[in-house]
Amino acid sequence: MSETEMAQAEQLSPNAATISAESSNLSPEELEKLTENIVGALKTVYDPEIPVDIYELGLIYKVDLDDNRNITIDMTLTAPGCPVAGEMPIWVENAVASVEGVQDVKVNMVFDPPWDQSRMSEEAMVALNWW
């Protein structure tokens, strides 16, 4: 990932996943627009027990985009025993698949490293009044 891409990801949310593209056939403008739209889609998915979207909660660890605009997402849950563990990856897949230009979406559930509150953005902390 280039320094520009990392800086863009940092601006979106300090603890959010970076979106990396191994693709050389996307212009910087296309990558920026796709990144914005993917983040926007991720921000429509909420943990039903916490009134904050999964992106700001820091549940998205990694988003990879390949040459064919296929997306692979590594995500976690706030706790391994989360009641929507089987459903949330499907919500994420459907949200990101709705982004124009995205071909296929694969969501991997990972628990290493385990999620903790330090992954939350300032926006999430304010929303939850966790200062």
For residue range 19-64, list pLDDT tens digits in order. Answer: 777 656 888 888 889 999 999 999 999 988 888 999 999 999 999 9
Three-class DSSP category at 71: strand
Dihedral sign of CA atoms 100, 101, 106, 112 in order: negative
> How many other CB atoms are found less than 10 A from the CB of residue 54?
25
For 32, the domain range is: 28-120
**CATH, residue 94:** 3.30.300.130
Count how many domains the chain has: 1
For residue range 89-107, list pLDDT tens digits in order. Answer: 999 999 999 999 999 999 9
pLDDT confidence of 111, banded at 50, 70, 90? very high
Q: Is residue 126 situated within a structural domain?
A: no
Q: Is residue 104 situated within a structural domain?
A: yes
Lowest mean pLDDT among 1-5, 19-23, 75-79, 91-95: 1-5
Q: Is residue 125 situated within a structural domain?
A: no
Instruction: Give the residue-averaged pLDDT of 113-126.
Output: 90
pTM score, whole prediction: 0.82
- Long-range CB pairs of 2-7 (<8 Å, 24+ gap) are 4/28, 5/31, 5/35
CA-wise closest residue to 60 among 125, 119, 1: 119
